[in-house]
Amino acid sequence: LKMAEQIAELREQIRLKHQNNRNVDEEIFQLSMFLVQSPYQKDVKEGINYLKDLYSRCGAHREYEFFLASGYYSLGRYVDALKLLDNLIQREPNNYQAKHLRERVKKNLSEDDMKGMALVAGTVVAGATIGLLLSRLLKK
């Protein structure tokens, strides 16, 4: 509930600042940090969209990249997360948070690759079995 309250408060701050034609980038960034950590995909996607906008308008800030990578990780978009984290670590080789998230991304990417290979192998075996059975039935 606390996260929901903070999100609602930030949305209100953004609304008020917009009315007064004031810059809302900091509030949008704070809101996006909460959204990408949400358990709801809709929130994570919204947070990613805000971060992508900030990233394109304001440049490559490490916070934008890290939380954008975190959002991609949450959605299972591991390759996108890895690209951002590799760029960030190249510029900041001692960034422990980025390195830690990168390891988690790589672990999940490896697990997904293994699942994909197992699925392909299972499909090939099933196809070969069906082909063998059909060829035997047609010979009779």
Question: How many other CB atoms are found less than 10 A from the CB of residue 7?
Answer: 18
Per-residue pLDDT of the chain (140 residues; tens, 9 = 90+): 688 899 899 999 999 998 888 998 999 999 999 999 999 999 999 999 999 999 998 887 889 999 999 999 999 999 999 999 999 999 999 999 999 999 999 998 876 554 544 444 445 555 555 655 566 666 65
Alpha helices in the chain (DSSP H): 2-19, 25-36, 41-58, 62-74, 78-91, 96-139
Tens digits of per-residue pLDDT, 34-69?
999 999 999 999 999 999 999 998 887 889 999 999
Reported pTM: 0.74
What's the CA gap between 48 and 34, in Å, rounded?
Answer: 11
Q: Is 14:49 a contact under the CB 8 Å cutoff? A: no
Q: Is 30:10 a contact under the CB 8 Å cutoff? A: yes
